[in-house]
Structure 1
Amino acid sequence: MFSIAAAVVVLLAVTIGILVIPRPAAVYASATPPLLQPTPINGTSEQLLMDLSSSLKDGETTSTVQIQSWALSMDVGNEGVIEKVSIEPEVRSVVHTSEGSRLEVRRGKPYDSDGRPIQVDGYQVGELIWARDYGPGEFPFMFGPAPVSPLEFGDYLRRPSGAAEWTTGEYIGGLTSVLNERRLTADQSKAALEFLAGLPELNVEGRVMDRLGRSGIAFATETRAPGEFVDRVIVSDEGLGILSVETTYVGHDRTDIQAPAVFSYFAWE
């Protein structure tokens, strides 16, 4: 039997967006997080995102990115049969200074399928899984500084892939990659929200509480993988910008999880 947890993480890096340097890590939980429960609100995605953009607060931009993430991991037997599905909650921090950068991955809090914290033998929340230091100019940025014009955001997000066009879901994945490696200024966040406001097939789900207990409005699309995955971006309704991105499995071809089920999420502190 071999574990394909690292392979799943690499897949997420391509389809959802995450800075990864795969390392083996133990698995400690076995239930997907509860689905978000949106409260319906009035307004189109364009109207709401433009309003959220105009209400962004000016805040101090730090050089530290703190991410709470969760991703589905699988163990597959020699016959190709999925034998175990597990959860790997992590807290990632990326610190950029004039002297270089440091990437740390620590164990996050495990929860049951109702969203309640659980105790797991041998599991220490906050334990360092692995870390890596980079000298000045060595950090493997995928993106340069984000633009402050929404008209430039599409080209900016596609540039590392070389793609001429993307679906709305792919743009959400690209934006996730940006947020996983650098903090946006208020002007850059404003441009990002105004860019999202102009994308097609981005549906308003409603007001939600994200995985860190923060209030926001959820917008979702199935354009990246119709009938298989829903990509969702949650934007603060308190002027804090993009809070988190989630992907939900809605397909019918898997036996390890029952749709709909949370496949991954990334929440920026």
Structure 2
Amino acid sequence: MNDFELARRLSDARPNLPRRGDALAPRAEGTLQGIMTDTMTPSRPRRSSIVFSIAAAVVVLLAVTIGILVIPRPAAVYASATPPLLQPTPINGTSEQLLMDLSSSLKDGETTSTVQIQSWALSMDVGNEGVIEKVSIEPEVRSVVHTSEGSRLEVRRGKPYDSDGRPIQVDGYQVGELIWARDYGPGEFPFMFGPAPVSPLEFGDYLRRPSGAAEWTTGEYIGGLTSVLNERRLTADQSKAALEFLAGLPELNVEGRVMDRLGRSGIAFATETRAPGEFVDRVIVSDEGLGILSVETTYVGHDRTDIQAPAVFSYFAWE
């Protein structure tokens, strides 16, 4: 599938609502340093909101970058209130040992075709002449329901929190409010991935196939796995294969035991391979047999003015 076809499918999948800005996939976050230094001349003064959300168009078609957003570097912006950093408790073991242990302790989950996701992603308000006026984190709750009669995708507003993780009230912001939704008839939902394999040896090719890439970094594989989990639930055998595949990846470091954003216990594994010196990608795996709980990206660079490193850039937690 080429870039033109992917762009067409993204456009067709999105409901006919006013656009809040183009979305970038996880792999595109690594280009943000260049984004912040590029310049352009707006055709006319305008005010818009740019949301770096993996599912701003459709929650499933986001493993491949389809473009680069170009905006001027701001003279000054407001610091955003990002979620608090995770606080890992050190544990013994290598990533390979721990992931293999976690894969062998998976429980048979409830059979369901519903995907429920809570996420936060960096958002920018761009004013006249492309000047960034405000940067914030926008929480969303997304659900994808697949049935024999078709599929429904909904995106609703999530609960906002301050940088200490405390719930806050925002004027005009209604938690649970429907942002947009789309219904699909039988066979119309634009799946990017087919059913996941049950062999770890097949998982690399499976994740790369939509992009056509011959190889990926460990961070890019985590991004691809995120897109899979955003469009379909994995069975216990498929989850086992995914964890065993992760166990064989290089430069995946054990951070320790953590509580994820939904208060669930797990072990965090992190890599800086996708954008060294800029972003750290981490996957959190349940130590209670629930499989992959969430994926987070943290900004650790030094060139941005809108957030102070280290800062949570985005996270996706699957219920």
TM-score by length of 1: 0.90
Post-superposition Cα deviations, 1:162-219, rounded to whole Å, max 9, x if no partner, equal 0000000000000000000000000000000000000000000000000000000000
- Aligned residue in 1 for 2:169: 119
CA distance in 2, matches of 1:264, 1:38: 18
Query: Structure 2: where are the runs of 5+ without partners?
Result: 1-50
- Aligned residue in 2 for 1:84: 134
Per the TM alignment, residue 251 of structure 1 is displaced from its structure 2 partner at its CA by 0.4
CA distance in 2, matches of 1:132, 1:23: 35
TM-score by length of 2: 0.76
When structure 1 is superposed on structure 2, of 3-12 and 20-29 the one drifting more is: 20-29
Per the TM alignment, residue 22 of structure 1 is displaced from its structure 2 partner at its CA by 22
Per the TM alignment, residue 14 of structure 1 is displaced from its structure 2 partner at its CA by 3.9
1:27/1:79 CA distance change after superposition, 3 Å: closer
CA distance in 2, matches of 1:266, 1:26: 29
Per the TM alignment, residue 123 of structure 1 is displaced from its structure 2 partner at its CA by 1.5
1:163/1:83 CA distance change after superposition, 3 Å: same
Per the TM alignment, residue 2 of structure 1 is displaced from its structure 2 partner at its CA by 14
Tell me if 1:43 matches 2:93.
yes
CA distance in 2, matches of 1:39, 1:50: 20
Per the TM alignment, residue 124 of structure 1 is displaced from its structure 2 partner at its CA by 1.4
CA distance in 2, matches of 1:53, 1:70: 27
CA contact (8 A) 1:3 1:75 kept: no
1:85/1:229 CA distance change after superposition, 3 Å: same
1:55/1:9 CA distance change after superposition, 3 Å: closer
1:249/1:12 CA distance change after superposition, 3 Å: farther
CA contact (8 A) 2:277 2:300 kept: yes
1:231/1:12 CA distance change after superposition, 3 Å: farther
CA distance in 1, matches of 2:275, 2:222: 13
RMSD (Å) for aligned C-alpha atoms: 5.0
- Aligned residue in 2 for 1:267: 317
1:57/1:152 CA distance change after superposition, 3 Å: same
Aligned residue pairs, count: 269
Q: Which portions of structure 1, spanning 4 or more consecutive aligned residues, are displaced by more than 3 angstroms?
A: 1-30, 77-81
1:11/1:153 CA distance change after superposition, 3 Å: closer
Per the TM alignment, residue 121 of structure 1 is displaced from its structure 2 partner at its CA by 1.7
1:3/1:162 CA distance change after superposition, 3 Å: closer
Post-superposition Cα deviations, 1:52-88, rounded to whole Å, max 9, x if no partner, equal 0000001222010000011001123444432210121
CA contact (8 A) 1:248 1:262 kept: yes
Post-superposition Cα deviations, 1:102-156, rounded to whole Å, max 9, x if no partner, equal 0000110000000001111221111111100000000010100000000000000
Q: Alignment partner of 2:62: what SS?
A: helix
1:69/1:216 CA distance change after superposition, 3 Å: same
Q: Percent identity?
A: 100
Structure with max Cα Rg: 2
Post-superposition Cα deviations, 1:16-59, rounded to whole Å, max 9, x if no partner, equal 99999999999999510000000000000000000000000012
1:25/1:193 CA distance change after superposition, 3 Å: farther
Q: Alignment partner of 2:90: what SS?
A: coil
1:239/1:25 CA distance change after superposition, 3 Å: farther
Per the TM alignment, residue 220 of structure 1 is displaced from its structure 2 partner at its CA by 0.2
Q: Alignment partner of 1:189: what SS?
A: helix
Q: Alignment partner of 1:124: what SS?
A: coil
User: 1:170 pairs with 208, 212, 220, which one?
Assistant: 220
CA distance in 2, matches of 1:48, 1:54: 10
Equivalences for residues 196-215 of structure 1 within 5 A: 196-215=246-265
CA contact (8 A) 2:54 2:62 kept: no
CA distance in 2, matches of 1:66, 1:188: 18
CA contact (8 A) 1:35 1:261 kept: yes
Q: Alignment partner of 1:52: what SS?
A: helix
When structure 1 is superposed on structure 2, of 19-28 and 96-105 the one drifting more is: 19-28
- Aligned residue in 2 for 1:154: 204
CA contact (8 A) 2:74 2:132 kept: no
When structure 1 is superposed on structure 2, of 151-160 and 124-133 the one drifting more is: 124-133
CA contact (8 A) 1:17 1:176 kept: no
CA distance in 1, matches of 2:62, 2:298: 12
1:146/1:62 CA distance change after superposition, 3 Å: same
CA contact (8 A) 1:71 1:87 kept: yes
CA distance in 2, matches of 1:235, 1:261: 21
